[in-house]
């Protein structure tokens, strides 16, 4: 480390010199012109330090699961109905964790939001409040539970890792309850830290190590750099505000508990005593066991393809998990979502709601709260259009009729004999 500008108090000087607007002006103009989530990613990449953008953008190892997770949606066709007599506006409202929301999608809890933009989790919470949907806060957030509770008055879910220190777990979930969080998501696919090779190549650290390569990159990205240098250094605000966020991987590896098992999950449910989901389920038998021990919901996820390489695309395993737990257990799904049509497909194939991660974080990195709101607005408009064109006027109707509307590309009567026989008027049962 050559020097640490925050320890020298540089931010206390720069916060009185309002140059952020100057540096961010071109990105604000680009944000206004953005028409889809891919545009937000392009703006985020242009504005962000390479180390930070790659941390957000990357998957594990060769990023095969990352690509497959997105491509899986393109293999699903939407077999729309006609002359459905729908009258706008459509009803996108539903329930998540038993709580009323205006949208069937929400921003997943994600770590360290202030590394992308100084507004951090507060920006995401404000956008969620604006759109009337669930907000998810990570236990590795850089904004505290109390602050988020004062910003977002609506439904909230708190995400928890399987920490070794049970007293830490008790303290955190107690704070979450006091902060108005009505549901808990236990991340169960993070018992080892995934191999994210872009981070290794970039010598990723939180905060930057101020090496020559990182400082050169900072000079090339003045909007992000001035943002970072003119604000207080961030910490893991939900765990200990006094501990600087020096290294995400080192902290997680020191606290994560690989030995955490089903008995520990039962203990946690007893401590929480409220709506809860295991986040990171991809096998039907695990989903069934989770329900048996007391989880109220199932969260299908592969951690954004950032953990086990070649783990399956979540949209591919979703139908089998829905079948395993039956129609009455809430199923949440995230992974690979880039379009409103992706959300529609997930709802149709068994999800009660859909979490998005990268889309809103690209928005955050592109322009703070305005960028997150842009991401929500894009997805809302796309979902509304998809439902209208499919011929479904409500989320409940989409979920009910979904299996007849979504089919795998190239599927034939040999693949789905009963469904295709009924669809084609053959009377059923023809092979």
Q: Active site includes 6?
A: no
d(CA 89, CA 98): 24
Q: Which of 49, 152, 231, 303 is catalytic?
A: 303
| Residue 166 labelled as part of a binding site | no
66-82 exposure pattern, b = at least 16 Cβ within 10 A, e = fewer:
bebbbebbeebeeeeee
| Residue 187 labelled as part of a binding site | yes
d(CA 36, CA 102): 21
Is residue 358 exposed (0-12), middle (13-18) or buried (19+ Cβ within 10 Å)?
buried
d(CA 3, CA 128): 38
Is residue 356 exposed (0-12), middle (13-18) or buried (19+ Cβ within 10 Å)?
buried
| Residue 207 labelled as part of a binding site | no
4-43 exposure pattern, b = at least 16 Cβ within 10 A, e = fewer:
ebbeeeeeeebeeeeebeebbeebbebbeebebbebbbeb
The DSSP secondary-structure symbol of 20 reads: H
DSSP 3-state assignment of 402?
helix
| Residue 161 labelled as part of a binding site | yes
Listed residue (145, 139, 26, 114) closest to 368, CA to CA: 114
Q: Are 399 and 59 in contact (CB under 8 A)?
A: no
| Residue 111 labelled as part of a binding site | yes
**Which residues, listed in sequence order, are joined to residue 144 by a DSSP beta bridge?**
none
| Residue 135 labelled as part of a binding site | no
| Residue 55 labelled as part of a binding site | yes
CA distances from 413 to 236, 391, 423 (A): 54, 24, 10
Q: At what angle do helices 50-57 and 212-220 cross, to 10 degrees?
A: 90
d(CA 362, CA 371): 8
| Residue 45 labelled as part of a binding site | no
The DSSP secondary-structure symbol of 205 reads: -
How many CB atoms sit inside 10 A of residue 280's CB? 23
Query: Is there a cis peptide before residue 89, judged by omega within 30 degrees of 0?
Result: yes
| Residue 48 labelled as part of a binding site | no
| Residue 279 labelled as part of a binding site | yes
Binding-site residue positions: 55, 109-111, 138, 159, 161, 187, 196, 279, 301, 303, 306
Detail the residues annotated as belonging to a binding site for glyoxylate: 55, 161, 196, 303, 306
Binding residues for FMN: 109-111, 138, 159, 187, 279, 301
Q: Which residues are catalytic?
A: 303
């Amino acid at each position: 480390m050559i020097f640490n500008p925050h320890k020298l108090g540089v931010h206390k000087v720069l916060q009185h010199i309002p140059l952020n607007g100057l540096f961010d002006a071109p990105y604000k103009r680009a944000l206004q012109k953005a028409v889809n989530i891919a545009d937000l990613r392009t703006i985020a990449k242009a504005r962000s330090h390479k180390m930070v953008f790659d941390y957000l953008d990357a998957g594990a190892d060769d990023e095969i699961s990352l690509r497959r997770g997105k491509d899986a949606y393109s293999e699903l066709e939407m077999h729309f109905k006609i002359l459905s007599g729908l009258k706008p506006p459509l009803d996108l409202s539903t329930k998540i964790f038993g709580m009323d929301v205006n949208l069937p999608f929400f921003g997943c809890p994600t770590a360290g939001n202030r590394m992308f933009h100084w507004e951090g989790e507060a920006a995401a919470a404000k956008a969620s409040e604006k759109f009337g949907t669930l907000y998810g806060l990570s236990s590795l957030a850089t904004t505290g539970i109390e602050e988020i509770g004062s910003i977002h008055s609506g439904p909230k879910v708190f995400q928890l890792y399987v920490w070794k220190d049970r007293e830490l777990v008790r303290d955190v979930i107690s704070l979450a309850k006091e902060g108005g969080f009505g549901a808990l998501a236990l991340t169960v696919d993070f018992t080892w830290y995934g191999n994210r090779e872009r981070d290794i190549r970039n010598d990723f650290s939180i905060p930057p190590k101020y090496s020559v390569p990182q400082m050169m990159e900072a000079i090339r990205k003045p909007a992000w750099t001035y943002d970072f240098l003119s604000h207080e250094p961030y910490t893991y605000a939900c765990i200990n505000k006094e501990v600087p966020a020096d290294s995400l991987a080192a902290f997680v590896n020191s606290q994560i508990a690989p030995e955490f098992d089903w008995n520990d999950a039962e203990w946690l449910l007893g401590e929480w005593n409220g709506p809860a989901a295991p986040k990171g389920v991809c096998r039907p038998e695990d989903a069934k066991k989770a329900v048996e021990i007391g989880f109220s919901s199932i969260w299908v996820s592969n951690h954004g393809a950032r953990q086990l390489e070649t783990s399956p695309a979540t949209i591919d395993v979703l139908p089998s998990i829905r079948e395993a737990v039956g129609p009455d257990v809430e199923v949440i799904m995230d992974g690979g979502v880039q379009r409103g049509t992706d959300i529609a497909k997930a709802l149709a194939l068994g999800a009660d709601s859909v979490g998005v991660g990268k889309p809103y974080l690209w928005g955050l990195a592109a322009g703070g709260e305005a960028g997150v709101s842009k991401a929500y607005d894009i997805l809302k408009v796309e979902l509304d259009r998809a439902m209208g064109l499919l011929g479904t006027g409500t989320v409940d109707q989409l979920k009910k009729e979904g299996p007849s509307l979504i089919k795998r590309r190239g599927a034939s009567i040999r693949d789905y004999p009963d469904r295709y026989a009924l669809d084609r008027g053959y009377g059923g049962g023809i092979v």
